[in-house]
């Protein structure tokens, strides 16, 4: 394959990044001077608050997921009292057709039903220095005292959405009806999404095993 053909292939497979789109939108709307100060809220810094490590996180096995999206419905039914997949703490629908990297020109080489049929479910990483919490102007996100899950204090949250933009995985979502941000609480250590998954695709993994589980997950996605 010639260099020209390689470059063309690279261009065709280049994904559309939600993060890049959001950052460009902020810059275009607010102007360079203001945008840089705003974006400063969404990046790592020496003053970023670190939380106690959570007991674990929910991780998906993409080779088991059938895309039934029961996890999204169960999550919101338990946490919000309504079936509202958009605000679910576990994200399946947005990756359903084109995979976790979004649409690309050569979509048939990517994940999703329009690609290799692999459904990649995204979950909260319960980050040690969570950008969502550090970006919140109200200090509404903290670590739960029981298992260390990063949770939203509904009384403090004003629904500004900064946590959503700050998260590199786009997990926190503002409920358009309640005007509050949703955040994975790990359901007290027994995540409903995992417990109700009919194929066992979702599992609660203890923190000591997380690194290995994430590596295995990425290998499954690449080699499927």
Nearest to 175 by CA among 96, 100, 82: 82
pLDDT of residue 28: 36
pLDDT of residue 8: 52
The domain ranges of the chain are 10-223
pLDDT of residue 16: 45
CATH node for 10-223: 3.30.70.20
- 201 or 43: which carries more pLDDT confidence? 201
Strand partners, 205: 57
The structure tokens 């329009």 sit at 114
In angstroms and rounded to an integer, the radius of gyration of the C-alpha atoms of the chain is: 18
Contacting residues for 223 by C-beta, under 8 A, at least 6 apart: none
The structure tokens 């890049």 sit at 20
pLDDT of residue 45: 44
Of 51-55, 173-177, 220-224, the one with minimum mean pLDDT is: 220-224
Of 41-45, 65-69, 121-125, 173-177, the one with minimum mean pLDDT is: 41-45
Read off the pLDDT of each residue in 52-76 and give the average, rounded to a whole number.
91
pLDDT of residue 11: 44
Read off the pLDDT of each residue in 187-214 and give the average, rounded to a whole number.
89
Compute the Cα dihedral for 70, 90, 206, 151 and give only its sign.
Answer: negative
18 pLDDT more than 50: no
**Cα distances (angstroms) measured from residue 131 to each of 50, 69, 122, 137, 177:** 10, 27, 17, 12, 24
For the chain, give the mean pLDDT.
Answer: 78
pLDDT of residue 13: 47
Compute the Cα dihedral for 148, 171, 57, 38 and give only its sign.
Answer: negative
Nearest to 96 by CA among 67, 76, 125, 60: 67
Full-model pTM: 0.71
The tokens of 94 are what? 């947005």
Say how far residue 38 (Cα) sits from the centre of its chain: 21
pLDDT tens, position by position, 104-161: 777 677 776 766 778 888 999 999 899 999 999 999 999 998 899 999 999 999 999 9
CA-to-CA distance for 181 and 161, rounded, in angstroms? Answer: 7
Question: Is residue 151 classed as helix, strand or coil in its secondary structure?
Answer: strand
- 211 or 89: which carries more pLDDT confidence? 89
């Amino acid at each position: 394959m010639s260099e020209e053909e390689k470059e063309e292939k690279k261009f065709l497979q280049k994904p559309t990044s939600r993060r890049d789109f959001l950052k460009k939108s902020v810059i275009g709307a607010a102007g360079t001077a203001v945008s840089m100060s705003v974006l400063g809220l969404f990046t790592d810094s020496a003053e970023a608050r670190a939380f106690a490590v959570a007991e674990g996180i929910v991780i998906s096995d993409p080779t088991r997921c059938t895309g039934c999206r029961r996890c999204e419905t169960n999550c919101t039914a338990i946490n919000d009292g309504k079936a509202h997949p958009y605000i679910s703490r576990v994200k399946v629908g947005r990756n359903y057709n084109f995979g976790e990297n979004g649409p690309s020109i050569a979509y048939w080489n990517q994940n999703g039903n329009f690609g290799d049929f692999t459904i990649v479910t995204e979950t909260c990483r319960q980050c040690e220095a969570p950008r969502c919490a550090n970006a919140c102007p109200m200090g509404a996100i903290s670590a739960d005292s029981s298992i260390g899950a990063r949770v939203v204090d509904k009384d403090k949250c004003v629904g500004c959405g900064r946590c959503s933009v700050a998260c590199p995985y786009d997990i926190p979502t503002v409920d358009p009806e309640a005007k509050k941000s949703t955040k994975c609480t790990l359901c007290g250590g027994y995540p409903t999404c995992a417990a109700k998954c009919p194929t066992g695709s979702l599992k609660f993994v203890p923190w000591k095993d997380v690194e290995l589980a994430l590596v295995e997950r990425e290998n499954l996605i690449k080699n499927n």
